[in-house]
């Protein structure tokens, strides 16, 4: 059974940094397309970042230059380093895997339970 | 960037059919995927590639996509179907972006 478990959320002041982790079991992070999706309180889903199995990374314009996605293959864990945090980054952050025909990263099949990040002074 | 438009809310009586739409420019040329999210829970994939159902999703859930509108149809609605529903596409015209609709709250009366 695939499980994705996010940790690392919390209360952080504007301008601060936080690193989220997503530990996977029943699933190999390095062999899959992995993504972060966030949801502000009472709002919809927003794609944040993706890392391809080959290592390429991409970001939403709203976080480009501030967030970095990475993975540790030995720990089978996905990360999201978040710097220069703003109030508008307040959200539940989900890690999720992407899949599709011919193993293309088209839709999200597995999701973690999410971790809440609150940016406030 | 590509925009997906969903109605904020849809209401339906138990046993009836709910239809949730997702509008986008020539969305029929894209593949649409649907997620169900219950309060306090992570999203769950209910339809992929317009009309395919993952294992474990009831046959009551179906999807279609044509022209400028994709539709998620839930037949014989149950109280347990009450949730937020999101459509999603992969926007190949932008820089590897995955786009979600704003979400529709399905209320079972």
Please check the confidence at residue A82 and state whether its pLDDT lies above 90.
yes
- What is the average per-residue pLDDT within A65-83? 97
pLDDT at A103: 74
Contacts of B49 in chain A (CB under 8 A): 100-101, 106-107
CB contact under 8 A, A47 and B45: no
Instruction: Give the tens place of pLDDT for each residue, A4-51.
Output: 999 999 999 999 999 999 999 998 999 999 999 999 999 999 999 999
Q: Say yes or no to pLDDT of B96 above 70.
A: no
3-state helix, strand, coil in chain A (%, to 5): 5, 55, 40
Start-end of H helices in B1-109: none
Phi, psi of B96 (to 5 degrees): 55, 50
Q: What is the mean pLDDT of residues B84-89?
A: 98
State the Cα–Cα distance between residues B63 and B14, nearest whole angstrom: 19
Spatial contact of A50 and A57, defined as CB atoms under 8 Å apart: yes
Cβ-contact A58, A48 below 8 angstroms: no
Taking CA atoms, A45 is separated from A54, A55, B16, in Å, by: 26, 24, 28
For an interface test with A, the pick among B36, B42, B102, B105 (most A C-beta atoms closer than 10 Å) comes out as: B42
């Amino acid at each position: 059974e695939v499980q994705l478990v996010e940790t690392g959320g919390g209360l952080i002041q504007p301008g601060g940094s936080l690193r989220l982790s997503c530990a996977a079991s029943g699933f190999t992070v390095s062999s899959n397309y992995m993504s972060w999706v966030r949801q502000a309180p009472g709002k919809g889903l927003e794609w944040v970042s993706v890392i391809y199995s080959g290592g390429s990374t991409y970001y939403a314009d709203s976080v480009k230059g501030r967030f970095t996605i990475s993975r540790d293959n030995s720990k089978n864990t996905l990360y999201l380093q978040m710097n220069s945090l703003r109030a508008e980054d307040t959200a539940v952050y989900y890690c999720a895997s992407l899949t599709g025909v011919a193993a293309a990263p088209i839709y999200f099949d597995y999701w973690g339970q999410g971790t809440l990040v609150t940016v406030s002074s | 960037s590509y925009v997906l438009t969903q109605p904020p809310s849809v209401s339906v009586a138990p046993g009836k059919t709910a239809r949730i739409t997702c509008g986008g420019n020539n969305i029929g040329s894209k593949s649409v995927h649907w997620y169900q999210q219950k309060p306090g829970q992570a999203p769950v994939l209910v339809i992929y590639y317009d009309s395919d159902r993952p294992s474990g999703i009831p046959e009551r859930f179906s999807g279609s996509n044509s022209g400028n509108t994709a539709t998620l149809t839930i037949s014989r609605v149950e109280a347990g179907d009450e949730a937020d529903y999101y459509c999603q596409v992969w926007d190949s015209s932008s820089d590897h972006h995955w786009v979600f609709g704003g979400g529709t709250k399905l209320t079972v009366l």
